[in-house]
Amino acid sequence: QQQVRQSPQSLTVWEGETAILNCSYENSAFDYFPWYQQFPGEGPALLIAIRSVSDKKEDGRFTIFFNKREKKLSLHITDSQPGDSATYFCAASDGGNNKLTFGQGTVLSVIP
Amino acid sequence: DAGVTQTPRHEVAEKGQTIILKCEPVSGHNDLFWYRQTKIQGLELLSYFRSKSLMEDGGAFKDRFKAEMLNSSFSTLKIQPTEPKDSAVYLCASSLAHGENTLYFGAGTRLSVL
């Protein structure tokens, strides 16, 4: 079964708009949630991460909002740029180990 | 510093063949992971090693997939025999052990099984 789910599968926004990517999970033991960004022909790379003790994490134009009670989180990309066009993966782990469970990914396209 | 290196970048196999994918992790990293990436499923964990010991061998993939870590700087993933449904991108990643450390991914091997 899919323990980490992402929506939408694909998203298109205009340059300058805010893109919102959603993620939900099932395992209550998950306590660390990184987002990875992947460009075509490359492996995923860490973009930003949050721990379950926080409800918000910000890094420049990228912000994670986390709702532990609902087991949901979202990645907001403000002032979206064409260079942000990529696939974004939500992931989760528990107990301080490095094994990540990934979602299916959201393909983001930013139109100039 | 060199990142994670995967070879080959592309592999084409006939159904029933044996193929071996290779991975060199970041020097000094203790954890090594093999993932399979498809559009439908996203990234699925195949194997997880810590300090060369197999920690997890993805249940659904056990029968035809075998990952090995011959030394701390080299790992292989063998698929035997290959089936068309194995067509995917195979990603290797490494990280430091202990805690919430970043996974560093290689560029992947794109496998096509005819």
Q: What is the pLDDT of residues B65-81, one digit of tens each?
A: 999 998 989 999 999 99
pLDDT at position A2 over 80: no
Cβ distance of B42 and A93 shorter than 8 Å: no
- If you ran DSSP here, which 8-state letter would residue A103 be given? -
Q: Which pLDDT does position B39 carry in this prediction?
A: 86
B30 to chain A: closest CA residue: A98
Closest-CA residue of A relative to B96 is A98
- Model pLDDT, residue B63: 84
| Residue-level pLDDT at B1 | 59
| Among B24, B28, B68, CA closest to B49 | B68
Block residue for tokens 């989760």: A92
A34: cis peptide before it, omega within 30°?
A: no
Please report the pLDDT score of residue A96 as a whole number. Answer: 65
The reply to whether residue B95 touches residue A46, judged by beta carbons under 8 angstroms, is no
* pLDDT mean over A87-106: 88
* Confidence label for A1 from pLDDT (cuts 50, 70 and 90): low
Q: Determine the distance in angstroms separating the CA of A111 from the nearest CA of chain B, rounded to an integer.
A: 22
| Predicted local confidence at residue A99, as pLDDT | 86
CB contact under 8 A, B91 and A104: no
Work out the minimum CA distance from A103 to partner chain B, whole angstroms: 6
| Pairwise CB contact (< 8 Å): A105 & B42 | yes
Name the minimum distance, in Å, from the CA of B22 to any CA of chain A: 15
Over chain B, what HEC string results?
A: CCCCEEECCEEEECCCCCEEEEEECCCCCCEEEEEEEECCCEEEEEEEEECCEEEEECHHHCCCEEEEEEECCEEEEEECCCCHHHCEEEEEEEECCCCCCCCEECCCEEEEEC
In this predicted structure, what is the pLDDT of residue A84?
98
Residue B97 pLDDT > 90: no
Q: Residue A12: its pLDDT value, please?
A: 98
Whether B42 and A102 lie within 8 Å, measured CB to CB: yes
* Mean local confidence (pLDDT), B99-104: 80
